């Protein structure tokens, strides 16, 4: 059955290719994607003068430690890679023994015995320049006797650390005495002293004594706090194109304010978030200045200011799409950004160029425009769009300013003006719209792209005026999401959102993009984009005055790289300003995640649990970062 304004074909994920260039390279360089290496030079063995292969056999009297020991052993991990001569193999074997002993100390196995033989000879009995039979892989045997788990005995904190409670730092009598926990406790004690405003706090003694008769470990930790001091002058190293005064201001390390390691950590994170700054480290001097303040040094590495990119995507439903962009990360020297982009999609979906999707935009942003906690943004956009619910031409622009109220709270206000032509269930109409959105957001998560704990809350009010119909309207939206690490490499995530459109007696009086729709990767997966909507008798999407949407996920890590995510999405769009559940829709599915340095790659597949007649049967969605 043919249904107007809604495609019946299922959504198919696009295959995408994107290239981003910051300038022409001086020479070809190797790179790696998903474990596959490209343009790499010759094999390692070709660069060795005397390559020696070996085989390794690791045995432990405690099978529960086998996987851990194999992960810690360089001999095991590098077994397929030759070493440089017999001497190189002997050095690697000795280093591996030390590495395994240290790893066992981390497991509180202070009585561990690690024996290593190479070609049948104990490494302690090898001559300074050993020679092995290298006509075949040289056999290496590792034998491990882990011994018992040692427990913490007495714990003494001395010096300025004496008032602290050892249990608050993970040192509790009777618990396993892992070396990593002891080192971590020492670091936390120094950090605690620094949090009192003492920038010169340091560890003065750390003594660990293992008693092999009782299998206990006694620990003594001493620290000196030093004086309380304020931040002193801030100097900048590494800045070339970026104004050093801007870097100092954006760091918000205010001279005269009491020193705080948390402020230093947040300042470095804030600087690294600037596109022009590829790295930023902050260090303090080793002594106070003549005024009793602690001088600070910010060392930055700048990214190349100009960049451009091209990309393509293709799907059986949407055809071929092409995009390109050019940008500048430091337009006037104070980290201002400018980005010009353009795209066309739908090639192959239709032969009529008028039915293709076109978009172009010019985006500008200036951090620190009205102080170190503000960012000003402006944009010009034009687009021609044909989707399942309406056909639209739009031209507009706007400006906004965001204010960081706290490290977690951001308030953003602005104004947007747009001319729009819609062809939809209400016919062909023209709109001239002015809106003044105001949004508050709190982000209390531990990671923006891959949160494992914390929550996010957003509330947004968008008053608007449509000049042609003289309609005053207001859109109200709110959402909240929460993340909880239940252990066992599983994170539970949930999101709930709602919206209401007030002041509109006839939805045809405002542009389609101001009405509410659900469906697609950003809301209810399994349905096509904007498929969830009230419909008229001709089965044309009308858009709604209210919505409720939610999602629940279990993010299960299978390994350090891959994860599996079963999920359930649900939502409804209503014809009245008060949300109802008269047409409740839900989609269920499963996704995979692949960890990368810039966030997890996401691929989800979902099916609608209450399918529209002739509607989508399933959906595939890809992106970077978690779904919410």
Which of the 8 DSSP states describes residue 512?
Answer: G
User: In which band, very low, low, confident or very high, does the pLDDT at 529 lie, cut at 50, 70 and 90?
Assistant: confident
For residues 305-321, give the mean pLDDT: 76
The answer on pLDDT for 42 being more than 50 is no
The answer on pLDDT for 26 being more than 70 is no
Tokens of 382: 């034009």
**Is 93 exposed, middle or buried (CB count within 10 Å of its CB: 0-12, 13-18, 19+)?**
buried
Torsion of CA 248, 254, 260, 264, to 10 degrees: -10
Torsion of CA 186, 188, 190, 192, to 10 degrees: -150
User: What percent of the chain has a predicted confidence (pLDDT) above 90?
Assistant: 78
pLDDT attached to residue 73: 95
For residues 518-546, give the mean pLDDT: 91
**Is 342 exposed, middle or buried (CB count within 10 Å of its CB: 0-12, 13-18, 19+)?**
middle
Give backbone dihedrals phi and psi of 327, rounded to 5 degrees, phi first: -150, 160
Please state, in angstroms and as integers, the Cα–Cα distance from residue 40 to each residue in 28, 29, 50, 180, following that order.
9, 7, 21, 37
Which residues, 6 or more positions from 132, have their beta carbon under 8 angstroms from its beta carbon?
A: 52, 86, 89, 118, 119, 138
Tokens of 174: 């009777």
pLDDT attached to residue 598: 73
Angle at 452 between CA 446 and CA 453, to 5 degrees: 65
Equal CATH topology for 44-145 and 304-624: no
**CB of 129 closer than 8 Å to CB of 137:** no
Instruction: Give me the residue label for tokens 């007696």.
Output: 505
User: In which band, very low, low, confident or very high, does the pLDDT at 178 lie, cut at 50, 70 and 90?
Assistant: very high
The neighbour count for residue 126, using CB atoms within 10 Å, is 20
Nearest Cα to 248, choosing from 256, 236, 259, 240?
236
Nearest Cα to 227, choosing from 164, 287, 161?
287
Integer distance in angstroms from the first to the last C-alpha of the chain?
35
Three-state DSSP state, 347: strand
Given CATH 3.40.5, say whether it is the number of domain 44-145.
no
Domain residue spans in the chain? 44-145, 151-224, 231-302, 304-624
The per-residue b/e assignment along 56-79, b for 16 or more CB within 10 angstroms, e otherwise, is bebebeeeebeebbeebbebbeee
Q: What sign does the dihedral 237-242-248-250 (CA atoms) show?
A: negative
**CB of 45 closer than 8 Å to CB of 39:** no
Which residues, 6 or more positions from 357, have their beta carbon under 8 angstroms from its beta carbon?
A: 321, 343, 344, 345, 346, 383, 384, 385, 386
Question: In angstroms, rounded to a whole number, what is the distance separating the alpha carbons of residues 423 and 429?
Answer: 7
**CB of 22 closer than 8 Å to CB of 328:** no
Enter the CATH code of domain 231-302: 3.10.20.310
pLDDT attached to residue 348: 73
The answer on pLDDT for 4 being more than 80 is no
The 10s digit of each residue's pLDDT in 181-232 is 999 999 999 999 999 999 999 999 999 999 999 999 999 999 999 999 999 9
pLDDT attached to residue 290: 94
Which of the 8 DSSP states describes residue 102?
Answer: H
DSSP string, 14-62: PEEEEEEESS--SS---EEETTEEES--S-GGGG-SSEE-EEEEEEES-
User: In which band, very low, low, confident or very high, does the pLDDT at 448 lie, cut at 50, 70 and 90?
Assistant: confident
Question: In angstroms, rounded to a whole number, what is the distance separating the alpha carbons of residues 344 and 322?
Answer: 5
Instruction: Give me the residue label for tokens 């005053």.
Output: 472
The answer on pLDDT for 31 being more than 60 is no
Question: In angstroms, rounded to a whole number, what is the distance separating the alpha carbons of residues 199 and 293?
Answer: 9
The answer on pLDDT for 355 being more than 70 is yes
**CB of 411 closer than 8 Å to CB of 400:** no
Question: In angstroms, rounded to a whole number, what is the distance separating the alpha carbons of residues 477 and 361?
Answer: 26
The answer on pLDDT for 312 being more than 90 is no
Torsion of CA 161, 163, 167, 168, to 10 degrees: -80
User: In which band, very low, low, confident or very high, does the pLDDT at 46 lie, cut at 50, 70 and 90?
Assistant: low
User: In which band, very low, low, confident or very high, does the pLDDT at 10 lie, cut at 50, 70 and 90?
Assistant: very low
Tokens of 11: 């959504």
User: In which band, very low, low, confident or very high, does the pLDDT at 609 lie, cut at 50, 70 and 90?
Assistant: very high
The 10s digit of each residue's pLDDT in 375-409 is 999 999 999 988 778 899 999 999 999 999 998 99
Q: What sign does the dihedral 115-118-122-126 (CA atoms) show?
A: negative
Q: Measured in whole angstroms, how far is the alpha carbon of residue 259 from the centre of its chain? A: 29
The answer on pLDDT for 6 being more than 90 is no
User: In which band, very low, low, confident or very high, does the pLDDT at 22 lie, cut at 50, 70 and 90?
Assistant: very low
pLDDT attached to residue 251: 95
Q: What sign does the dihedral 111-117-122-124 (CA atoms) show?
A: negative
pLDDT attached to residue 57: 95
**Radius of gyration over alpha carbons of the chain, in Å?**
31
Q: Could you give the residue ranges of the DSSP H alpha helices within 255-368?
A: 261-272
The neighbour count for residue 34, using CB atoms within 10 Å, is 8
Quote the CATH superfamily of domain 151-224.
Answer: membrane protein fhac (3.10.20.310)
Which helix (H) or strand (E) segment holds residue 237: the answer is strand 231-237
**CB of 152 closer than 8 Å to CB of 174:** yes
Question: In angstroms, rounded to a whole number, what is the distance separating the alpha carbons of residues 155 and 165?
Answer: 10
The answer on pLDDT for 172 being more than 50 is yes
The answer on pLDDT for 17 being more than 90 is no
**CB of 591 closer than 8 Å to CB of 603:** yes
Decide which of 596 and 328 is more confident.
328
589 DSSP β-pair partners = 567, 606
Question: In angstroms, rounded to a whole number, what is the distance separating the alpha carbons of residues 445 and 447?
Answer: 6
For residues 153-178, give the mean pLDDT: 95
Question: What average pLDDT does the structure give for the chain?
Answer: 89
Instruction: Give me the residue label for tokens 């009782």.
Output: 214
**CB of 544 closer than 8 Å to CB of 466:** no
The 10s digit of each residue's pLDDT in 610-628 is 999 888 888 888 788 888 9
Which residues, 6 or more positions from 165, have their beta carbon under 8 angstroms from its beta carbon?
A: none
pLDDT attached to residue 388: 76
The answer on pLDDT for 9 being more than 50 is no
Enter the CATH code of domain 304-624: 2.40.160.50
pLDDT attached to residue 586: 96
Nearest Cα to 516, choosing from 468, 469, 470, 548?
548
The answer on pLDDT for 410 being more than 90 is yes
The answer on pLDDT for 23 being more than 90 is no
477 DSSP β-pair partners = 460, 499
Question: In angstroms, rounded to a whole number, what is the distance separating the alpha carbons of residues 238 and 447?
Answer: 28
Question: In angstroms, rounded to a whole number, what is the distance separating the alpha carbons of residues 457 and 365?
Answer: 24
Decide which of 28 and 522 is more confident.
522
User: In which band, very low, low, confident or very high, does the pLDDT at 40 lie, cut at 50, 70 and 90?
Assistant: very low
User: In which band, very low, low, confident or very high, does the pLDDT at 449 lie, cut at 50, 70 and 90?
Assistant: confident
């Amino acid at each position: 059955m043919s249904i107007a304004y809604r495609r019946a074909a299922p959504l198919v994920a696009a295959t995408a290719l994107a290239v981003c260039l910051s300038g022409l390279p001086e020479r070809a360089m190797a790179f790696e994607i998903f474990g596959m290496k490209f343009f790499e030079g010759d094999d390692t063995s070709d660069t060795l003068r005397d390559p020696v292969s070996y085989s390794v056999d690791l045995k432990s009297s405690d099978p529960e430690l086998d996987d851990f020991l194999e992960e810690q052993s360089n001999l095991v991990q590098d077994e397929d890679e030759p070493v440089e001569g017999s001497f190189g193999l002997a050095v690697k074997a000795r280093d591996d023994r030390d590495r395994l002993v240290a790893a066992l100390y981390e497991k509180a196995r202070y009585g561990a015995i690690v024996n290593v033989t190479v070609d049948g000879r104990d490494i302690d009995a090898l001559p300074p320049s050993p020679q092995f039979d290298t006509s075949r892989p040289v056999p290496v045997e590792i034998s491990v006797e882990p011994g018992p788990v040692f427990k913490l005995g007495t714990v003494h904190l001395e010096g300025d650390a004496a008032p602290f409670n050892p249990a608050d730092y993970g040192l509790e009598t009777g618990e396993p005495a892992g070396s990593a926990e002891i080192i971590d406790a020492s670091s936390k004690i120094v950090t605690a002293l620094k949090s009192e405003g003492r920038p010169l706090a340091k560890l003065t003694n750390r003594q660990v004594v293992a008693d092999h008769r009782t299998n206990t470990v006694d620990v003594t930790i001493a620290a000196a706090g030093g004086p309380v001091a304020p931040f002193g002058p801030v100097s900048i190293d590494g800045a070339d194109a970026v104004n050093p005064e801007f870097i100092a201001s954006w760091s918000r390390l205010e001279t005269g304010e009491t020193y705080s390691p948390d402020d230093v950590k947040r300042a470095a994170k804030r600087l690294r978030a600037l596109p022009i700054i590829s790295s930023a480290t902050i260090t303090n001097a080793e002594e106070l200045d003549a005024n009793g303040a602690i001088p600070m040094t910010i060392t930055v590495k700048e990214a190349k200011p100009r960049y451009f990119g091209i990309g393509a995507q293709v799907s059986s439903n949407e055809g071929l799409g092409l995009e390109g962009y050019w940008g500048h990360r430091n337009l006037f020297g104070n980290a201002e950004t400018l980005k010009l982009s353009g795209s066309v999609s739908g090639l192959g979906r239709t032969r009529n160029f008028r039915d293709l999707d076109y978009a172009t935009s010019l985006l500008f942003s200036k951090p620190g425009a009205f102080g170190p906690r503000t960012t000003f943004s402006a944009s010009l956009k034009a687009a021609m769009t044909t989707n399942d619910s309406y056909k639209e031409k739009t031209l507009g622009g706007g400006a906004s300013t965001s204010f960081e109220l706290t490290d977690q709270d951001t308030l953003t206000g602005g104004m947007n003006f747009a001319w729009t032509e819609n062809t939809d269930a209400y016919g062909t109409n023209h709109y001239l719209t002015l809106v003044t959105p105001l949004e508050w957001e709190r982000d209390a998560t531990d990671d923006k792209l891959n949160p494992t704990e914390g929550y996010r809350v957003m509330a947004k009010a968008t008053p608007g005026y449509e000049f042609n119909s003289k309609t005053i309207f207001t859109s109200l939206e709110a959402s909240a999401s929460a993340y909880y690490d239940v252990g066992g490499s599983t994170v539970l995530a949930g999101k709930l959102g709602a919206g209401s459109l007030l002041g509109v007696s006839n939805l045809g009086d405002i542009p389609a993009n101001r009405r509410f729709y659900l469906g697609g990767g950003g809301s209810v997966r399994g349905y096509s984009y904007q498929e969830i909507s009230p419909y008229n008798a001709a089965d044309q999407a009308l858009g709604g005055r209210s919505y409720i949407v939610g999602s629940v996920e279990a993010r299960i890590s299978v390994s350090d790289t891959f994860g599996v995510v079963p999920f359930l999405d649900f939502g409804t769009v209503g014809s009245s300003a008060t949300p109802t559940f008269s047409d409740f829709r839900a989609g269920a599915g499963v996704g995979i995640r692949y960890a990368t340095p810039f966030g997890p790659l996401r691929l989800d597949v979902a099916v609608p649990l209450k399918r529209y007649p002739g509607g989508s049967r399933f959906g595939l969605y890809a992106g970077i970062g978690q779904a919410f």
